[in-house]
A and B are shown apart, each in its own frame.
Chain A
Amino acid sequence: MLFHSVEFFLLFSGTFIGYWLMPQHRLRMLWLLGASFAFYGSWNPWLMFVVVFSAAFDFLIAQRIETSPSPKARRLLLIVSICVSLGILGFFKYTNFLLDSAVSTFNLFGFDYRHPAFRIVLPLGISFYTFETISYVMDVYRGRLRAERSFMDYALFIMFFPHLIAGPIVRPKHFLSQVPRAKRFDWNRLELGARLFLLGLVKKTVIADHMPAIVDPVFASPSEFSTEAVWMAVLCYATQIYCDFSGYSDMAVGTAHAFGFKLPQNFNLPYAACNIAEFWRRWHISLSTWLRDYLYIPLGGNRHGTLATYRNLILTMLLGGLWHGAAWSFVLWGFYHGSLLAAHRFFSSRSRSSEGPFKPMRIAFTFLCVCIGWVLFRAQSMTDAWLLLRRMFIPTEGQMFASAEVAIALAAWTAVLLGHLVSSYLDMRSALRWLPAPVMATGMAVVFLFVQVLMPHRGGAFIYFQF
Chain B
Amino acid sequence: MIYRPNPKRGRTTLLLMGAFIFAAEIAAGILIDHAPMRIRFPQLAQVLEMARQLKPSKKILFLGSSRFGNAVSAEAITEVLHQANVGDGVTVFKANIGASDPVVMDFETDKLLAADILPSMAVIEILPEVLSRRNLWLNFHLGRQLRWPEVWNALPDVYLAGTLYLAVTTRFNAIYTFRSEFQQWAMDGLKLRFESSNFADANTRKRRRANRAAPADVEVLLRGAASGRKNVRGYEIGGLNTRALIRMIERYSQLGTTIVFVAPPVSSPYRAAYGSPVDAAYLAYMQQLGKTYGTYFFDYRHRLSDHHFWTPYYTTTDGKLHFSRLLAREVIVPLIAGHKTSMSSRALPPSDNPSATAAEGQSLPDAGSRRGG
B31 touches A (CB below 8 Å): no
Closest to B192 in A: A404
A402 touches B (CB below 8 Å): yes
Chain B residues contacting A437 (CB-CB under 8 Å) are 9, 12-13, 16
A73 touches B (CB below 8 Å): no
Number of residues of chain A lying within 8 A (CB) of chain B: 39
What is the CB-to-nearest-CB distance from A9 to chain B, in angstroms, rounded to a whole number? 11
Which of B49-57, B99-107, B173-181, B321-329 forms part of the interface with chain A?
B173-181
Chain B residues contacting A311 (CB-CB under 8 Å) are none
Given that A191-B13, A194-B14, A213-B196 are known contacts, is A452 also in contact with B183, CB under 8 Å in the complex? no
Within 8 A of A (CB), among B166-193: 169, 173, 175-176, 179-180, 182-183, 187, 190-193
A368 touches B (CB below 8 Å): no
Q: Cβ of A454 and Cβ of B20 under 8 Å apart?
A: no
Given that A187-B11, A190-B10, A441-B16 are known contacts, is A453 also in contact with B193, CB under 8 Å in the complex? no
Q: Among B3, B13, B175, B199, which residue has its beta carbon within 8 angstroms of that of A440? A: B13
Given that A217-B200, A449-B21 are known contacts, is A441 also in contact with B195, CB under 8 Å in the complex? no
Chain A residues contacting B180 (CB-CB under 8 Å) are 456-457
Q: Among A400, A433, A444, which residue has its beta carbon within 8 angstroms of that of B3? A: A433
Closest to A440 in B: B13
Interface string of A369-407 (1 = CB under 8 A from B): 000000000000000000000000000000111111101
Chain A residues contacting B176 (CB-CB under 8 Å) are 452, 455
A70 touches B (CB below 8 Å): no
Chain B residues contacting A455 (CB-CB under 8 Å) are 176, 179
Interface string of A212-255 (1 = CB under 8 A from B): 01101100000000000000000000000000000000000000
Interface string of B13-52 (1 = CB under 8 A from A): 1111100110010000000000000000000000000000
What is the CB-to-nearest-CB distance from A437 to chain B, in angstroms, rounded to a whole number? 4
Interface string of A432-445 (1 = CB under 8 A from B): 01100110111011
Within 8 A of B (CB), among A182-210: 186-192, 194
Provide the bound-state CA to CA distance between A400 and B195, in Å.
8
Q: Among B17, B182, B191, B194, which residue has its beta carbon within 8 angstroms of that of A213? A: B194
Closest to B174 in A: A452
Q: Cβ of A214 and Cβ of B17 under 8 Å apart?
A: no
Q: Cβ of A434 and Cβ of B3 under 8 Å apart?
A: yes
Q: Cβ of B175 and Cβ of A453 under 8 Å apart?
A: yes
B7 touches A (CB below 8 Å): yes
Q: Cβ of A454 and Cβ of B179 under 8 Å apart?
A: yes
Chain B residues contacting A449 (CB-CB under 8 Å) are 21, 24, 175
A448 touches B (CB below 8 Å): yes
Provide the bound-state CA to CA distance between A217 and B196, in Å.
7
B149 touches A (CB below 8 Å): no
Q: Cβ of B179 and Cβ of A453 under 8 Å apart?
A: yes
Q: Cβ of B5 and Cβ of A405 under 8 Å apart?
A: no
What is the CB-to-nearest-CB distance from B195 to chain A, in angstroms, rounded to a whole number? 3
Given that A217-B199, A455-B176 are known contacts, is A442 also in contact with B7, CB under 8 Å in the complex? no
Within 8 A of B (CB), among A1-28: 6
Q: Among A188, A213, A399, which residue has its beta carbon within 8 angstroms of that of B197? A: A213
B8 touches A (CB below 8 Å): yes
Provide the bound-state CA to CA distance between A87 and B265, in Å.
57
Provide the bound-state CA to CA distance between A403 and B21, in Å.
33
Chain A residues contacting B17 (CB-CB under 8 Å) are 194, 440-442, 444-445, 448
Q: Among B3, B20, B195, which residue has its beta carbon within 8 angstroms of that of A404? A: B195
Chain A residues contacting B190 (CB-CB under 8 Å) are 407
Q: Cβ of B21 and Cβ of A191 under 8 Å apart?
A: no
Chain A CB count within 10 A is highest, among B17, B179, B190, B200, for B17
Q: What are 27 pairs between A and B in contact, CB < 8 Å?
A: A6-B169, A186-B10, A187-B9, A187-B10, A194-B17, A213-B197, A217-B196, A217-B199, A399-B195, A402-B193, A402-B194, A402-B196, A404-B187, A404-B193, A407-B190, A434-B3, A437-B16, A438-B12, A438-B16, A441-B12, A441-B16, A442-B17, A444-B13, A445-B24, A452-B175, A453-B182, A455-B176
A positions within 8 Å CB-CB of B? 6, 186-192, 194, 213-214, 216-217, 399-405, 407, 430, 433-434, 437-438, 440-442, 444-445, 448-449, 452-457
Interface pairs A-B: 9 shortest CB-CB: A187-B10, A441-B16, A402-B195, A445-B20, A188-B10, A191-B10, A187-B11, A437-B12, A404-B192
Q: A441-B14, A453-B183 are in contact. List 9 more A-B contacts (CB 8 A).
A: A194-B14, A213-B197, A216-B196, A401-B196, A402-B192, A433-B3, A437-B16, A441-B16, A441-B17
B positions within 8 Å CB-CB of A? 3, 5, 7-17, 20-21, 24, 169, 173, 175-176, 179-180, 182-183, 187, 190-200
